[in-house]
Amino acid sequence: MSLHLLIPPQKMRLPVASSINLFLRGPRDSCNIKEHVADLVPIIKRKVEEGVKFVVFIADGGPDFNPNHLVNQLYWTRMFRVTGLLGMIVTTYCPGHSALNPIEHLWAPLTNCLAGVYLPDTLGNEKQPPSSQPNLTEEERRRKEDAVFDEAMDRLTNYWKQVKWAGLRPKVCKIPSRSTNDEDYKQVHSIVNGPLKGLTANVATDFKYMADHMDRRVGQLIFSQCGEDCGGCQETGTLGKNTLQLLQLLRKFPSPAPANSHEGHMLTFLEAINSAQNEPDEWMPRVRKEKLGRCPHCRCHIFTSESNRKRHLRMFHH
């Protein structure tokens, strides 16, 4: 909200929120990047059908979305490939600046509307929660507990449908308990963190697409179509001149750079896009301190640790 006040509309037209989507899951269902991407893909596909071709994701720095993690990068890659987007940026606010995250602003009215709300831990006319009922088998207890959580999510849905934020009512989606399958995520996690001999053909294909279409910086991923018939992109001849220019600008998305006129300060975004561009992440403290460099094979891949450098070169280029 503050950005609208800081940047005059004649300088930069900022998008206005068009929808708020909330997803509820029970405690026994996984809440990881695989499930988040599964939630996002239908939303993004609808936007693409409406004419949206470029998307910027702003997430917190938690493990579910963190763009520095290779497992997350693979699922972001899969999402970019199947949604039909021409360009996509995934970024995160620095630690200590989550107050700028619009999601944090949304949670305030959502939590306020639940003040004093009691969610029953029992089913129907039962007087005891499943955990206190004798003579239940383990599976019966789990089924009852799942039903308790499903009813609680139904109640939350009814409460949150009454909330308004920025003039909009949220769309609340309940994921029924134990309806998700976590095998793919476990497999990917095992491959990424295990010996390279365990690399499967489908994940190897994802990694190849990632290397060709993703610029990796510290805390930021930039995806863009290559303009070739690679199995996931439109050929250059089918893209308009303006679209090609936008793709080129996307790949040159500015990195933080020092402001010569104000010692100790960095250029604003508007100043950066109108200044000579440095190498990506050239002035990032971590990059300058560790001096790990960039991948000589990928379009733009910034190494963040020595182990990351070694594993990336072995996984993608050997």
CB 173 within 8 A of CB 42: no
Model confidence at 179: pLDDT above 50:
yes
Mean pLDDT of 225-236: 67
Mean pLDDT of 27-53: 91
Spatial CA neighbour of 73 closest among 254, 247, 209, 256: 209
pLDDT of 315 reads 80
Mean pLDDT, all residues of the chain: 82
pLDDT of 14 reads 44
CB 318 within 8 A of CB 297: no
- 172 phi, psi to nearest 5 deg: -105, 125
Instruction: Give the pTM.
Output: 0.83
Number of residues written out for the chain? 318
pLDDT of 209 reads 87
Residue-wise pLDDT for 126-156, tens only, equals 899 999 999 899 999 999 999 999 999 999 9
For tokens 């470029």, what's the residue?
54
Listed range (9-13, 182-186, 244-248, 258-262) with the worst mean pLDDT: 9-13
Residue-wise pLDDT for 151-163, tens only, equals 999 999 999 988 9
Mean pLDDT of 292-317: 81
For tokens 């602003």, what's the residue?
105
Q: Residue 7 corresponds to which tokens in the numbers above? A: 């940047």
Between CA 1 and CA 57 the distance in angstroms is 16
Report DSSP state, residue 267. Answer: -
